[in-house]
Structure 1
Amino acid sequence: MSTNHTGTGMAAPLNGGRVAGYAGLLVLGALTGVAGALVQGDWFPGGLVLALLGAAALFYGGRITTGTGVGVAAPALGWLIAVILLTATRPEGDFVFGAGVGSYVFLLGGMVAAVICATLRPPAWPASGSARPGK
């Protein structure tokens, strides 16, 4: 007796494609964190809004494409690692983030966006072949 265990979401079997996808989301999260750190201080307040929208879009996009919470966690982890590394001071005393309110809004806003995207349910797609939802 053979049983086929093909799950969806978190129950789906782990394969090379899924691991590569999550690794790609991790790298995209780090790149988004670096870009957001640079933009949010230069073009205040528009840069701050742009940086937060970019991070939130990446987190939610990871949720939609993978259908799992890991799709949010991977880019959020990359974003957080990049932002934490950029907040550390260098031996010369230089750092990327200033002491203004925009830096704190970017740090807290990005974390809040990750939590919100992780708790959202992915949208229900209509069945294939149906022109109208619910039919």
Structure 2
Amino acid sequence: MSTRANAPGGLPAPPRLTPARILVHVLLLAVGAVAGAAGALIQAAWFPGGLLLALLGAAGVCYGGARATGTKGGGFAAGAGWLVAVILLTTSRPEGDFVFGAGLGSYVYLLGGMALAVMCATVAVPSQPMGPGGRLGK
């Protein structure tokens, strides 16, 4: 068994940092920001359905990012983009314009979206060996 294949403690080694992996994480950060901004606009438009759609979008982006990259970092990148966009949209401008109203739906979207992002980003990614299917004991 190679020492490069396993990290100390017998755990699999983390994936290498390549320019393609960095680009994918930056794209996931941008997609998370777009999902956060879109969810902020739609959650109040159609109250119960829009809120559920916005929360499902946040969960889908974070879970999809983790599954697409095969690591938890993809989910964290999408969740960070979502969080940055939502936090930037909560601030009001000097003119008095703001995106989030002071209603129950806004708070459910903010807190529920954060909880969903953390849950979906920390979900364990299945650790199946890459390669042809077969029995693991052989």
Query: Into which bin does the TM-score normalised by the smaller protein fall?
Result: 0.7 to 0.9
Q: Would the aligned equivalents of 1:29 and 1:79 in 2 still touch at CA under 8 Å?
A: yes
Q: What is the count of residue pairs matched by the alignment?
A: 133
Instruction: With the length of structure 1 as denominator, give the TM-score of the two structures.
Output: 0.85
RMSD of aligned Cα (Å): 2.9
Measured after TM superposition, the shift of residue 70 of structure 1 is 1.1
- Corresponding residue number in structure 1 for 2:105: 102
Aligned counterpart in structure 2 of residue 57 of structure 1, from 57, 60, 81? 60
Measured after TM superposition, the shift of residue 85 of structure 1 is 0.8
Q: Secondary structure at the match of 1:45?
A: helix
Identity of aligned residues (%): 54
- Corresponding residue number in structure 1 for 2:9: none
- Corresponding residue number in structure 1 for 2:118: 115
Structure 1 residues 114 and 13: CA distance shift in structure 2, 3 A: same
Q: Would the aligned equivalents of 2:79 and 2:121 in 1 still touch at CA under 8 Å?
A: no
Q: Distance in 1 between matches of 2:71 and 2:13?
A: 6
Amino acid at match of 1:81: V
Q: Distance in 2 between matches of 1:66 and 1:127?
A: 13
Measured after TM superposition, the shift of residue 44 of structure 1 is 0.6
Matched, 1:87 2:87: no
Aligned counterpart in structure 2 of residue 32 of structure 1, from 28, 32, 35? 35
Runs of 4+ in 1 over 3 A off after TM superposition: 3-7, 123-131
